Chains A and B, each alone.
Chain A
Amino acid sequence: MNLFCVGLSHHTADVETLERFGGNAEVSCLLRDSGCVEAVLLATCNRVEVYGASESRVSTLDVARCLDRKIAGGVLAEAAPFYRYEDTQCVRHLFRVACGVDSMVIGETEILGQAKRAYEAARANGGAGRYLHRLFQRAFRVAKHVRTHTDITRGAVSVGSVAIDLAQKIFGNLGACKALVLGAGETSEKTARALVSRGVTDVRISNRSAERADNLAQSITGQAIRFENWLDQCREIDILVTSTSSEVPLLSRSQLEPMLRERIDRPLFIIDIAVPRNVDANVNALDGVYLYDIDSLQSIAEQALAMRREQVAVAEQIIAEHVAEFDELIARGINRVPVTPEHPPVGESSLRPSEL
């Protein structure tokens, strides 16, 4: 039996190409026409891959045609830079994909859910049999192992998630936190919604235009605060998000310092995502105040990404061990199926290196 993977990803193709192949992809034609015994289609915004098991070699062109019926044989090379992995390389590739090592954002965990859904869909329509079942189940195990034994998923890597993660590192449960969002533009709205989605129940909105503040507050079941009164809110809030278009700082150290005396045992987390900044940088020097602007959030996201990159080597080592184990399992024969002409063993001789 020949295991193979043919696909496109963000490494080899642009978004337009991925959309073209991923949009209406289906693999039933592979199972129907090309001698493929099993097939799983993994289509995400960053990759379109077909994992298959076949008695005889299924060409890359056959797979490509299945993904996009408009492809003519001669234009494939120019049309899309497909890659192809076979047998051990295919196993390694799927393990790397499931672990997030091959993802655009290293260590992202969404891909594992997508792989699980792809496998479930294939199982439901009869595309995944015992070969791909073993392969995908092992891939999910490897992903779990890597996630548990490395820091590859640690740390947020986007500005928004860094801010929310930091809030959780300061306050723990965000359910009891009070947040004030200063500004009612698109960024403010996104941040306010992110806070609500992470459990903040008391979100207040303040904006120069009271109408826009009201609208945003209503849409997130928050509370609108008159712009003249927003500074007083600093006595009781835990999180302040500033995103106004003000050209001068709206909050200085001298304004905040007297208020902090009343709330000395409660930290204040300030997320200043405005450009130019809305909060004077000196505010960060105050005890219990943690001020983050867009640059510092970006820097932490980069640090986290660098940390994840460092973990790739550890993850690759774990993957290599599992690939070797899986190869051994294949060599011994999956499920100890009786050797008959109809059910040939998945042995070393049958899992041959196929021609590219």
Chain B
Amino acid sequence: MDRYLLFVSTACFLVAIGHTVLELRGKVFRPMRFNFAAVGLGFIFQTAFLYVRGHAVGRCPITNLFEVIIFVAWSVALFYMVVGPTYRLSLMGAFTAPLVVVLQLVALLAPIDHPHPVKVHANSWLEFHASISLVAYGAFALACIAGVMYLVQERQLKTHQIHSIFYHLPPLTVLFAAITRLLWWGFALYTVGLFSGFFVGEPLPWIQIICAVAVWVLYGLILQGRYLHWFAPKRVAALCVVGFSAALTLLWGITFTVQTHTR
């Protein structure tokens, strides 16, 4: 039953993508209201799914890789709902929807929705640690999307090849400010998540700790590099994309080892 909610949510995000593609093909892109509404509706169904699944498992629904991926997708949509209108990054919806759809389709199509092998008792510190870290992933994902938007615009400016989409992108400096803020939000949340892990009261596998610290160090270095002028904005944007890809891989590693560890 709960998977149907996820199908409907995915359909909403697909509608947002379809709308964007049609608009871009017609070169009449007006993304603001429709995309925001479609992503908002998708977000509501995601939330409903997490609520229903949470009731079913009796705790925060991040007990297997399937649920973790959906939680990350929900965090991405959540951050878009907050950040998109705030920074007037209307086009961000057009970039956000594909990422959410990919995450949800992978979760729905891959055979990864197995019930947890052993009954995991609710541990509030563990749930806080895991959920806040995954919300931080939402901020990193949106920084990655803003990074892609930055790179697209930067390339068009450098090559002097200005396409229709260029006129809908926010100014470079505004995008870079948004990237910086998202990195800070993600890093702060992730730091809270990481340190709350010390209060879990259960032994965690070393590989999991190493992966979690690696993501923290990675984003810490990106922020450090940004403020110490090690990297130009273009490189920061590129590192946001690389960083999120690496963080997703490490997240898979963390979830996989958790499942193996509890068997």
Contacts and interface: CB of A to CB of B under 8 A. Distances in A.
Interface of A: 148-151, 154-155, 166, 168-172, 261, 264-265, 267, 284, 287-288, 290, 292, 296, 299-300, 303-304, 307, 310-311, 314
Interface string B222-238: 00001001011111000
B173 interface: yes
B184 interface: no
B34 to A, nearest CB: 12
A149 B167 CA distance: 14
A265 B171 contact: no
B164 interface: yes
A173 to B, nearest CB: 8
Contacts of B114: none
B166 interface: yes
24 contacts: A148-B30, A149-B28, A149-B30, A151-B27, A151-B28, A151-B167, A154-B167, A155-B167, A169-B166, A169-B169, A170-B157, A170-B172, A171-B173, A172-B173, A261-B229, A264-B233, A265-B176, A265-B232, A267-B233, A288-B232, A303-B162, A307-B27, A311-B27, A314-B28
B95 interface: no
B201 interface: no
A304 B27 contact: no
Interface of B: 26-30, 153, 157-158, 160, 162, 164, 166-167, 169-174, 176, 226, 229, 231-235
A267 B26 CA distance: 32
A307 B235 CA distance: 31
Contacts of A299: 160
Contacts of B226: 265
Contacts of A292: 160
Contacts of B229: 261, 264-265
Contacts of A288: 232-234
Contacts of A311: 27-28
Main secondary structure of the interface of A (DSSP, over half): helix
A287 to B, nearest CB: 4
Contacts, number: 68
Contact of B171 (A149, A151, A169): A169
A267 B172 contact: yes
Given A166-B157, A288-B233, 6 more contacts: A171-B171, A264-B229, A265-B232, A288-B232, A292-B160, A311-B27
Contacts of A149: 28, 30
A3 B48 CA distance: 59
B235 A169 contact: no
A148 B176 CA distance: 28
Given A288-B234, A290-B158, A300-B162, A314 B173 contact: no
Given A169-B153, A171-B173, A264-B229, A155 B30 contact: no
A261 B167 CA distance: 30
B167 A170 contact: no
B176 to A, nearest CB: 8
Contacts of B174: 172
Contact of A284 (B26, B158, B166, B173): B158
A172 B233 contact: no
A299 B156 CA distance: 13
A265 B174 CA distance: 12
A182 B164 CA distance: 32
B232 A169 contact: no
A171 B170 CA distance: 10
Given A155-B162, A288-B233, A304-B162, A267 B167 contact: no
Contacts of A310: 27
